[in-house]
Amino acid sequence: VTKRVERVAIIGQGYVGLALAIRAVEAGHDVVAFDIDTQRTSFLAAGKSYVEDVSSVEVTQALATGRFTPTHDSAELAGFDVAIITVQTPLRDGVPDLSFVEAAGSIVGAHLRRGACVVLESTTYPGTTEELLAPILETESGLTAGADFDLGYSPERIDPGNASWALTNTPKVVSGIDARSLERVQSFYDTLVDKTVPVRGTREAELTKLLENTFRHVNIALVNELALFANDLGIDVWEAIDAASTKPFGYLRFTPGPGVGGHCLPVDPTYLSWKVENRTGDRFRFVELANEINASMPAYVVRRVVTGLSARGVPIEGARILLVGLAFKPDTADARESPALTIASLLGSAGATVRAADPHVVASLVDLSGRGIELVELTVRELEVSDAVIIVTDHASFDYGAILAHASYVFDARHRLPAAAGPQVEYL
Ligand SMILES: NC(=O)c1ccc[n+]([C@@H]2O[C@H](COP(=O)([O-])OP(=O)(O)OC[C@H]3O[C@@H](n4cnc5c(N)ncnc54)[C@H](O)[C@@H]3O)[C@@H](O)[C@H]2O)c1
């Protein structure tokens, strides 16, 4: 493949956009890293990263090439060959909020030239690229999608904290609104990743991402509900899961936990169910059930801990509780929508004092205000003075031996401690 150096504009420098920008610079392209958040762009201009998986060294190296331009000035987008939109797609009042994609589309459209290419990467419901983004780009530019410029969708699959699978070695699904767009989008991503996977249209590509995340969401809900019933029946669900996982085909391992968090699972499946209901009038029952079960897990953890404390003669009112791990998944600092925050709120409302240890989560980056959580270090003393220690997120760096040795009561919501570790340990 002959590599063509493109002028690439990346709209949104979050987890997805920054990783992509750094990779595009590495691949030889000229990259304008655009964000409306001036704090983020000035961090980047100073060679500092605010995203795990991208180090400050990588940002500095990108700057040194002279081909990485972080900016909040949209005038810098002028003359782009390829623009990639990586802005957030949250829910507002339980409904998809595409205002960020719309705003990004307007900015891109204003700088769109004949022959250029636009790709949406934000996770969204099927139809967004063609029904929502294309008209905005056309109105702003006076051009026609397909005839005058190429347009496509390519879902992001980055998994922060995953040491084995990164942007480059994870196959990337690509699509276009017509054959020429697909070819353009695919040949561009072929310069960034080892393998691209073309699909027939943008809707199929949009659905691919939602299928992946809904699949995880539903399977996590399944084992969560199973864990609840297994506990009632006095059966060790973890042993059954381990045993089932030895089947070499037809089974995929998912494990119960204190609930789902982050930007994906609590949000993306609802983009799908919203679209289905909006179009067909039917409810996507699997998604609704998974939402309900996974959202109920923090309260379940709290109920179990209240019972466990009470069995030890400690009322929840006035109890001192230590949460081990605040981030929503191990070895990351991301506490967005983390179940730990809900657990802390529920415990706080019940009259407990809540402390949390998480070396990854820097206090200033998570909004702990009003949640009554004090961040502490995981010390022997902290373990000894806590009435209950809840393992919420099993970061590799925690000293689990110390937890086992010094806590009087541990509720292990991740089954991180060895099975039947002692009378002081209860498992989800
Ligand atoms: N984080 C992940 O692991 C992950 C993985 C796969 C897919 N996704 C999807 O990718 C998308 C982006 O996710 P993220 O985690 O990177 O979000 P993020 O919130 O970290 O980053 C989005 C960035 O876009 C910026 N932005 C918003 N509006 C803008 C505009 N009009 N112009 C320029 N910049 C603007 C924001 O300031 C922010 O810096 C979402 O749709 C998400 O669902 C995320």
| 3-state SS, one letter per residue, for 5-60 | CCEEEEECCCHHHHHHHHHHHHCCCEEEEECCCHHHHHHHHCCCCCCCCCCHHHHH
What would the pLDDT profile of 48-106 be if each residue is shown by its tens digit? 999 888 999 999 999 999 999 999 999 999 999 999 999 999 999 999 999 999 999 99
Residues found in the chain = 428
What would the pLDDT profile of 27-36 be if each residue is shown by its tens digit? 999 999 999 9
- Say yes or no to pLDDT of 428 above 60: yes
Q: Which of 10, 41, 74, 86 to mutate to test the pocket of ligand 1 (most atoms within 8 A of CB)?
A: 86
Å from CA of 52 to ligand 1 middle: 14
| Cβ of residue 90 lying under 6 Å from some atom of ligand 1 | no
Confidence (pLDDT) at 269? 94
The CA distance from 405 to 403, in Å, is: 6
* Nearest Cα residue to atom 1 of ligand 1: 15
What would the pLDDT profile of 395-405 be if each residue is shown by its tens digit? 999 999 999 99
- Say yes or no to pLDDT of 414 above 60: yes
Helices (H), 191-201: none
Confidence (pLDDT) at 5? 86
The CA distance from 254 to 277, in Å, is: 28
The CA distance from 137 to 329, in Å, is: 37
Kindly state the percentage of the chain with pLDDT values over 70: 97
What is the rounded average pLDDT of the residues 235-240? 96
The CA distance from 58 to 175, in Å, is: 29
| Cβ of residue 86 lying under 6 Å from some atom of ligand 1 | yes
| Cβ of residue 414 lying under 6 Å from some atom of ligand 1 | no
Q: Which residue, chain included where needed, has tokens 């199929």?
A: 204
- Say yes or no to pLDDT of 223 above 60: yes
- pTM of the full predicted structure? 0.93
Confidence (pLDDT) at 279? 93
Chain mean pLDDT for the chain: 95
Identify the active-site residue in 82, 119, 218, 264: 264
Å from CA of 88 to ligand 1 middle: 4
- Say yes or no to pLDDT of 364 above 60: no
Q: Which residue, chain included where needed, has tokens 């700057």?
A: 63
Q: What is the DSSP string of 127-187?
A: TIIIIIIHHHHHHHHS--BTTTBEEEE------TT-SS--TTTS-EEEEESSHHHHHHHHH
Q: Give the dihedral of Cα atoms 72, 122, 89, 77; nearest 10 deg.
A: 20
Least confident of 151-165, 195-209, 234-248: 151-165
What is the rounded average pLDDT of the residues 262-283? 93
| Cβ of residue 123 lying under 6 Å from some atom of ligand 1 | yes
What is the rounded average pLDDT of the residues 310-319? 97
Å from CA of 90 to ligand 1 middle: 9
Confidence (pLDDT) at 147? 98
| Cβ of residue 87 lying under 6 Å from some atom of ligand 1 | yes
Give yes or no: 117 in active site: no
What is the rounded average pLDDT of the residues 257-283? 93
Å from CA of 50 to ligand 1 middle: 13
- Say yes or no to pLDDT of 262 above 90: no
What is the rounded average pLDDT of the residues 326-338? 89
Q: Which of 128, 170, 263, 265 to mutate to test the pocket of ligand 1 (most atoms within 8 A of CB)?
A: 263
Q: Give the dihedral of Cα atoms 122, 124, 129, 131; nearest 10 deg.
A: -150
Atom number in ligand 1 closest to CA 100 = 28
What is the rounded average pLDDT of the residues 202-212? 98
Å from CA of 237 to ligand 1 middle: 37
Contact criterion met (CB below 8 Å) for 390 and 354:
no
Reported as a pLDDT band with limits 50, 70 and 90, residue 202 is very high
Residue 192: Cβ-neighbour burial (10 angstroms; 0-12, 13-18, 19+): middle
Contact criterion met (CB below 8 Å) for 176 and 183:
yes
Q: Which of 10, 20, 23, 35 to mutate to test the pocket of ligand 1 (most atoms within 8 A of CB)?
A: 35
Confidence (pLDDT) at 336? 84
Question: 254 vs 43, 222, 235, 240, 242, CA distance in Å?
Answer: 37, 9, 17, 12, 10
- Say yes or no to pLDDT of 370 above 70: no
Confidence (pLDDT) at 1? 47
